[in-house]
Amino acid sequence: MPDRADPEENEALFEWPSPPEDIPRWALKEASPWRDLDDFNLLALAEETCGRIVELIQVSLPETLWGLHIARGRRARIYVNRQLPRIWRRFSMFHELYHLLHHTRGEAFWSGTATPMTSFEHQADMFAWAAIHREWIEGSAP
């Protein structure tokens, strides 16, 4: 049985999204300062931007869950599925980071608005694609 924490042996368990034909201009602009940063500098910028202490934690999650974030008071954690290959872990981290920065009221609040949740997920995906686009093109993708 493969080690479920080994991304390369678990690639078949996941369904990979295709990149969008066009990344919206707003997403490219918002993702610009985040591109090409290592984890340490990403967290430093995240903390400066949201005013919270932010931790990035890689854990084994079900194949259907790439990541999630939890924020309470002055602390926030972004959990990323460590079974994902590197490019998809970064995608997941940027997706959750977008939620942390822009959807601060929590899922219960946002699901009670007139805007469908799929819209919030699409925004987070576009930000994530904009942030990893150069890495994707340069061949870091699976």
Between residues 80 and 108, the one the model is more confident about = 80
Between residues 114 and 61, the one the model is more confident about = 61
Please report the pLDDT score of residue 132 as a whole number: 94
Q: How far apart are CA 73 and CA 91, in angstroms?
A: 25
Please report the pLDDT score of residue 135 as a whole number: 86
Q: How far apart are CA 11 and CA 95, in angstroms?
A: 19
CATH classification at residue 50: 1.10.10.2910
Section 58-72 average pLDDT:
92
Please report the pLDDT score of residue 7 as a whole number: 53
Q: How far apart are CA 43 and CA 26, in angstroms?
A: 22
Sign (positive or negative) of CA dihedral 131, 137, 138, 140: positive
Section 87-92 average pLDDT:
94
Please report the pLDDT score of residue 83 as a whole number: 94
Are the C-beta atoms of residues 49 and 31 closer than 8 Å to each other? Answer: no
Render pLDDT for 19-64 as a digit per residue (tens, 0 to 9): 899 999 999 999 999 998 999 999 999 999 999 999 999 999 998 8
Q: Which residues contact 107 (CB under 8 A, 6 or more apart)?
A: 117
Q: What is the pTM of this model?
A: 0.80
Q: How confident is the model at residue 115 (pLDDT cuts 50, 70, 90)?
A: very low
Q: How confident is the model at residue 107 (pLDDT cuts 50, 70, 90)?
A: very low
Residue 6 lies in a domain: no
Q: What percent of the chain has pLDDT over 90?
A: 57
Residue 15 lies in a domain: no
Sort strands 75-81 and 53-59 into parallel, antiparallel or unpaired: parallel
Are the C-beta atoms of residues 24 and 122 closer than 8 Å to each other? Answer: no
- Domain holding 72, by residue range, is 24-136
Residue 31 lies in a domain: yes
Residue 90 lies in a domain: yes
Section 71-85 average pLDDT:
93
Residue 67 lies in a domain: yes
